[in-house]
């Protein structure tokens, strides 16, 4: 009978989700927000269609595990090394400042120090599930703010384990030093085993399974690695989600990563949807109404405070203003692991019932607002550039002033980005007396350009309004040399819509980026890895003392057919 109740609950969840998401999609409300609202509707404190949340929570944990597993599949140990600065520096600063800020504010309201620290733990953690889902859907995982956001989220997830271990200390119950040593030792052994398996065992096992050409067997093996590794890490005291992420890293080190990602998508989407529904079920409508004033004030404080802290974190790391704003918007909420911390603190006396209810309400509302915040992020960036006081304080000229003062740009080149490539292009254009201007969202780059005597403006090249102010309708060429593939596509589309006949040249990193940029409207795309291959080939041929004509023929062949 229990199994039929379980099946009934699943049918109710899926039915309501399909209906709510379909209706709210017409109102342009993100699917994640719709799932949370559906959970609030069918939960035990809503219409009561589902009375027991324990079974739903099991499916929800599977959803979070599959999400972190898929993120791990997208990563690799080498990529983790490249993100190490963002993980360590960004994570330490963000988590440290968040805990310190909450601690000081809570003390000012006469909250006990141990409770104030624990509240800091809860607020410091952001929603890995919602943020990474949003970044994936928007194709922003590889952008500068996406990498910073991912690095900080990974550090937060790693911090959940020591935070949970600190609960007995904060509650005054304490645990022995031997228990700490044993827990840390288990975690170290499991993580070492995962890293060992990623290099030696799993790739060979997957190779043997792939040789059978049985897709069902391969899917089962991939899920076994995910769930099995996650289960082993929970035994060692590491969170289920972190274990799933490590399992993803294991498979990512093999040649079957892309097949695993393809096979995993249907499972991940279904179970992750159930996770968002389970979050909505935690919201108690009557408690929200009765405590609406303190909850709203606390929500505003959390969103504003975390935004400022992430903004400062990116500023300390000397990242561009756009990254500061978008990362701040992405990480401003309280995350799902905060529920785990609250659940683990039950019976310890760290939080009273009212504080627990208010924190849960704020966490859910902040998560509910996150999809909207992610979609508004670029508009916030665009709005900042219009505030002339802000740009003056930054010591740069906003792009909206490019056509003021009687200056009318004609037959000029617009350079998007003033990194190494943009700087060198500006130098060449200046020498041959071709009019040009530079636009960038990196304040340091703009200041450097002005110091070099280059006409440079602070602005976002993805904005049609900014492109018009830069005179793109009258420009001879638009050259994009920014390290943001998604922004490049948006900029190309905006430019092509305003100036259909302009020549648009784009520098990108990878060959795989060429087709999307050409479809967006680029006239020419120059992949950096192709030019690197050309340079290597040319130098080898030169050292071989071949004739120049032969060298040029081989080099041209590489440029025209980079895949061969």
The rounded distance, in Å, linking the Cα atoms of 308 and 369 is 17
**Sheet hosting strand 477-480, strand order edge to edge:** 456-458, 436-440, 413-416, 477-480, 503-508, 524-527
- Highest mean pLDDT of the ranges 87-96, 156-165, 250-259: 87-96
Other beta carbons within 10 angstroms of residue 114's beta carbon come to: 17
| Chain segment 491-533, per-residue pLDDT in tens | 899 899 898 889 999 988 777 778 888 888 889 888 876 666 6
Structural domain contains residue 475: yes
| Domain total in the chain | 2
Share of the chain above pLDDT 90, in %: 11
Other beta carbons within 10 angstroms of residue 186's beta carbon come to: 16
Q: Answer yes or no: do 161 and 299 share one domain.
A: yes
Residue 435 structural domain: 407-522
Structural domain contains residue 41: yes
| Chain segment 451-483, per-residue pLDDT in tens | 888 888 877 788 787 888 888 888 989 999 887
Contact between 305 and 100 (Cβ < 8 Å): no
Q: State which of 357, 386, 415 marks the end of a domain.
A: 386
Structural domain contains residue 37: yes
Q: Answer yes or no: do 212 and 173 share one domain.
A: yes
**What is the average pLDDT across 343-367?**
81
Structural domain contains residue 272: yes
Helix/strand/coil for 402: coil
pTM confidence score: 0.65
Structural domain contains residue 531: no
CATH code, domain carrying 412: 3.40.50.720
Specify which residues 508 forms β-bridges with: 527
pLDDT at 377 over 60: yes
Helix/strand/coil for 398: strand
């Amino acid at each position: 009978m229990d199994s039929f109740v379980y099946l009934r609950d699943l049918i109710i969840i899926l039915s309501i989700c399909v209906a709510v998401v379909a209706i709210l999609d017409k109102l342009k409300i993100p699917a994640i927000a719709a799932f949370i609202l559906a959970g609030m509707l069918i939960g035990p404190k809503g219409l009561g269609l589902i009375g027991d949340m324990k079974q739903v929570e099991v499916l929800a944990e599977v959803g979070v595990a599959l999400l972190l597993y898929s993120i791990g599949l997208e990563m690799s140990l080498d990529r983790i090394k490249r993100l190490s600065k963002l993980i360590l520096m960004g994570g330490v600063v963000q988590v440290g400042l968040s805990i310190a800020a909450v601690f000081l504010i809570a003390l000012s309201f006469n909250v006990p120090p141990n409770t104030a620290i624990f509240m800091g733990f809860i607020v410091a953690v952001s929603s890995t599930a919602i943020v990474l889902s949003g970044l994936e859907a928007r194709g922003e995982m590889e952008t500068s703010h996406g990498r910073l956001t991912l690095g900080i989220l990974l550090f937060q997830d790693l911090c959940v384990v020591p935070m949970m271990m600190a609960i007995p200390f904060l509650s005054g119950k304490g645990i022995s030093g031997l228990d700490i040593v044993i827990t840390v030792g288990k975690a170290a052994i499991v993580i070492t085993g995962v890293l060992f398996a990623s290099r030696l065992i799993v790739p060979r096992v997957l190779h043997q399974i792939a040789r059978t050409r049985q897709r069902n067997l391969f899917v089962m093996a991939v899920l076994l690695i995910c769930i099995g590794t996650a289960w082993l890490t929970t035994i060692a005291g590491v969170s289920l989600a972190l274990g799933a992420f490590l399992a993803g890293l294991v498979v990512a080190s093999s040649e079957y990563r892309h097949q695993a990602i393809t096979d995993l998508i249907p499972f991940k989407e279904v179970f992750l949807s159930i996770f968002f529904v389970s979050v909505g079920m935690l919201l108690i409508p009557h408690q929200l109404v009765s405590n609406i004033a303190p909850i709203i004030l606390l929500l505003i404080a959390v969103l504003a405070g975390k935004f400022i802290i992430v903004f400062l974190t990116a500023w300390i790391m000397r990242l561009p203003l756009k990254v500061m704003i978008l990362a701040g918007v992405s990480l401003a909420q309280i995350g799902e692991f905060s529920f785990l911390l609250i659940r683990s603190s039950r019976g310890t006396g760290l939080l009273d019932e009212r504080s627990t209810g208010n924190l849960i309400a704020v966490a859910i509302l902040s998560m509910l607002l996150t999809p909207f915040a992610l979609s508004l992020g670029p508009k916030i960036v665009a709005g900042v550039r219009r505030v002339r006081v802000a740009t003056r304080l930054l010591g740069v000229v906003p792009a909206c002033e490019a056509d003021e003062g009687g200056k009318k740009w004609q037959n000029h080149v617009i350079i998007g980005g003033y990194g190494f490539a943009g700087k060198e292009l500006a130098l060449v254009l200046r020498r041959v007396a071709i009019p040009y201007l530079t636009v960038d969202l990196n304040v340091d780059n703009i200041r450097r350009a002005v110091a070099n005597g280059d006409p440079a403006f602070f602005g976002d090249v993805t904005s049609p309004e900014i492109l018009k102010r830069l005179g793109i309708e009258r420009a001879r060429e638009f050259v994009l040399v920014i390290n943001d593939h998604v922004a490049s596509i948006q900029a190309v589309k905006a430019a092509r819509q305003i100036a259909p006949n302009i020549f648009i040249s784009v520098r990108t990193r990878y060959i795989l980026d060429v087709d999307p940029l050409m479809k967006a409207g680029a006239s020419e795309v120059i992949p950096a890895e192709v030019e690197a291959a050309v340079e290597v080939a040319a130098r080898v041929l030169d050292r071989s003392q071949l004739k120049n004509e032969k060298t040029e023929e081989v080099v041209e062949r590489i440029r025209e057919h980079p895949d061969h």
